[in-house]
Amino acid sequence: MYSEIREKWRSIVTPFLTVLPLVNGIQFSVDFQPLPAIIGTHSAAKGGNAMGLTASDPDRIIVIFEGSWSLPTDDAKAYSFAKQITDWLEQQVPLWIAEAGMDPDVYLPYFINDAMSDQQVMQSYQNYDKFKALQKQIDPNGLFSTRAGGFKY
């Protein structure tokens, strides 16, 4: 899995990196961050968490793609890279889950600190409907949902 992700990422960004001079300060990387099941266990024991991680959840790996570049003219290209890899992962992860013999309905939330701006982070949380209702109760006029940035319920 790691090598497949690395190779896919490399195939996406290499053409871009070989065309531009290195002075532009362009950098891309892929990181694998473990999220052990014990986090859900401890969280559940203390009353739960917004994401809905529980003691029955499996160990996870958070895949993080990072990029930095100097020129605003490269923004669209960098977004394109991120979109290509996330679209590929949306197709590939279910295949890996099947290969591992895991339940195809395993809960796979997005992680807010690592998500792209167009990913439906809050909607991926198991308690989405609960938090959306709470947001409506606390902020019925939508002050925070319409005048603040970030992911929304």
Query: What confidence tier does 85 reach under pLDDT thresholds 50, 70, 90?
Result: very high
User: What confidence tens digit (pLDDT) does each residue in 88-139 have?
Assistant: 999 999 999 999 998 888 888 888 888 888 888 889 998 899 888 998 999 9
Ramachandran class of 28: left when φ > 0, alpha when ψ lies in -120 to 50, beta otherwise: beta
Task: Give the number of other CB atoms < 10 A from CB of residue 60.
Answer: 19
Q: Does residue 33 contact residue 48 with C-beta atoms inside 8 Å?
A: no
CA nearest neighbour of 122 among 90, 150, 93: 150
Chain-centroid distance of CA 2 in Å reads 16
Residue 98: what pLDDT?
Answer: 93
